[in-house]
Structure 1
Amino acid sequence: MSILIPLAILGLLSGALAEKAGLLSFEGQGLAVVSPEVVTIAPHAFEYRDATEYFRNGLAIDAPKRQEAVMVPLDVMKYQVTQAEYERCVSDAACVPSEAGATLPNDSIPVTGVSYDDALRYAAWLSHHTGQEWTLPTDFELAYAAADRFPDDALGIDPDDRNPAKRWLADYEREARRAASVDPRPQPKGSFGISQTGLVDFAGNIWEWTSTCNRRVDLDKAKADEDLDPSSCGVMIAAGRHRSPMNSFVRNPKGGGCSVGAPPDNLGFRLVRRPSLLESIANFFRRATAQLLATIIKT
């Protein structure tokens, strides 16, 4: 017990230092950039259906849904990256102008008309200017963060049913539900509600790029395809009201590049913040301290 108290104190000190570091802003190439507002997604269990496309006997089947228990918190941007935020990267010559354009970049309107590659450039720029690591979320992380707002694209057909007509009908009904928005124009922050976890505007009329590569698995093969490295993958998953595989260079989803189904209204993104080593240590001690206190209270 004597060693546990110093460990708990060290955890608290580490946490304080990490929080202080998160408030710092760094200056580079004449620009002062403040870290975006984030929500911390508390560890929780949730059901996740893989973004992979599965096939059996030549027919598409639903990806399996599994129960996942995430044990660590996730810091994710509360809002999608805005026009004004993206324009700062453009002004710094680190990003290229969005295809949607904006004569007066608005800090309340999400940026659209950006590709996966554009999002990566912005993440690298933001990381450089804040001294923190920002990346695109994986599809799994976005599902974890969006919680009740994340879509389930399942057809709901028995995987052993070989009647293609049932799949055609189910697919037709699904695509009908994916009809384009009445007004596809980007809307101000908060126009599309908040998830149970505090994520704002997910599954509105902007689909968000992820770092997950689109994969197809034929279950009749002796060995499934290996996971693809995102750096060598040309088709990535964008998630919103439904998942949409998109070529990484596409900026206007209506102009082509959507592998299947109804295209997204718009393409934008939000980022996740990876914890520093100091923050990881602090989080570890916080969890250890909480578990210790819970054990003491029970006994």
Structure 2
Amino acid sequence: MARNATIEPVSGISIAIPLALLVVLSAALAMQSGFVVTKGPEATVAAPQTITVTPHRFAYRDAAEYFRDGLAIDAPKRDVSVISSLEIMKYQTTLRDYNRCVAEAICAPAETGDDAPPREETPVTGVSYDDALRYAAWLSERTGIEWRLPTDFELAYAAADRFPDDALGIDPDDRNPANRWLADYEREARRAKAIDPRPQPQGSFGISQTGLVDFAGNVWEWTSTCNKRVDLGQNRRVEEPDPRSCGIMIAAGKHRAPMSSFVRIPKGGGCSVGSPPDNLGFRLVRQHGLLEGLKDWARRAMTDVFEQAASDKART
């Protein structure tokens, strides 16, 4: 005689997976199985080592130059909660890696600016913003992964405790321009050049709380953020510059430095505001594709579903 089968009731949330999630999972499975062809170029160069900066809250001061009635004031600083992660190169691009692009006649040779030849394991310096863009395009093709320069915001998010605050610290209602000149002079005096401005081997300048290595050493890093001036008061409208036609980009390191995009050796000129950087280099952000984004979203959604199911079961 057959025994009666007992079926345990199942929590509704454990089976009520959203239709959108099922669609995403089906698409990911189809791509993984080869039903949908998503093959990119074959990688001929190993991808650089990266870190993943997990979502966190941080204080960010805008990179723009702010003025009120012709007087310089500090850019606003706000607390920002970032909800997405960021994958960025752990180290700055090295001369060895950059020279692979040079060897293929895609990138222009870096300028050292001195007689001593740099070592290949040091960060590449003597490169312009345009050079960095060409290298990012070359690396994207050779690794089959999309790479790009970070924005100033992304670099601040990744550098965390190592990112500088360039505020003058002057009361915005202070109408005495002499106080601003004095504060600016003191700030520039603190921006003393490095005792040895020559690029140093990786790991020479410490690591941030997020795992970013060598930020704010003696190599400033190009970003894709265009320098802009914001005039407050008198109902003036803030105009966003077009990055495609912007000639002054933000390089970040011990301090922010608006630099002409074609400049390679900053001590030779090209810094539009304040003290020039010791050196110009860069690191890149990995731009995740649609499939990777869908998989990440599906993974997080599935985790939420299962955690909610477990929570419902615990309450019953």
1:68 maps to 80
- C-alpha contact 2:92 2:283 (8 A) present in aligned 1: yes
Query: Unpaired segments of 5 or more residues in structure 1?
Result: 18-23
1:283 aligns with 2:296: yes
Q: What's the TM-score, normalizing by structure 2?
A: 0.85
Aligned to 2:4: none
Give the AA of the match of 1:91: A
Distance verdict in 2 for CA 1:287–1:107, change over 3 Å:
farther
Alpha-carbon spacing, 1:105–1:126, altered in 2? closer, same or farther (3 Å): farther
Give the counterpart of 2:240 among 203, 223, 227. 227
Question: Which residue of the partner structure matches residue 45 of structure 1?
Answer: 57
Rounded Cα–Cα distance in structure 2 between residues aligned with 1:297 and 1:43: 25
Could you tell me which residue of structure 2 aligns to residue 109 of structure 1? Answer: 122
Question: For this pair of structures, how many residues does the alignment match?
Answer: 287
Checking the alignment, whether the CA contact within 8 Å between 1:114 and 1:251 is kept in structure 2 is yes
Quick one: structure 1 residues 257 and 42, their matched pair in 2 at CA, closer, same or farther if it must change by over 3 Å?
Answer: same
TM-score normalised per structure 1:
0.89
Would the aligned equivalents of 1:84 and 1:105 in 2 still touch at CA under 8 Å? no
Structure 1 residues 221 and 252, CA, compared in 2 at 3 Å: closer, same or farther?
Answer: farther
Residue 33 of structure 1 aligns to a residue in which SS? coil
Q: Partner of 2:131 in structure 1? A: 118
- Checking the alignment, whether the CA contact within 8 Å between 2:41 and 2:141 is kept in structure 1 is no
Match of 2:10 in 1: none
Alignment of 1:180-259 (within 5 A): 180-259=193-272
Q: Which residue of 1 aligns with 2:285?
A: 272
CA distance in 2, matches of 1:291, 1:169: 54
1:105 to partner: Cα distance: 6.9
Matched, 1:78 2:94: no
Query: Identity of paired residues, percent?
Result: 65
Displacement over 6 Å in runs of 4+: 101-105
2:8 aligns with none
Is the contact between residue 48 and residue 68 of structure 1 (CA under 8 Å) also seen in structure 2? yes
Q: CA deviation at 1:183?
A: 0.6
Amino acid in the other structure paired with 1:10? L
Question: How far, CA to CA, are the matches of 1:100 and 1:190 in structure 2?
Answer: 20
Change (3 A) 1:3 1:295: closer
Matched residue type, 2:159? A
Aligned partners of 1:174 and 1:292: how far apart in 2?
A: 52
Q: Can you give the 5+ residue segments of structure 2 that lack an aligned partner in the other structure?
A: 1-12, 33-39
Q: 1:10 aligns with which of 18, 25, 33?
A: 25
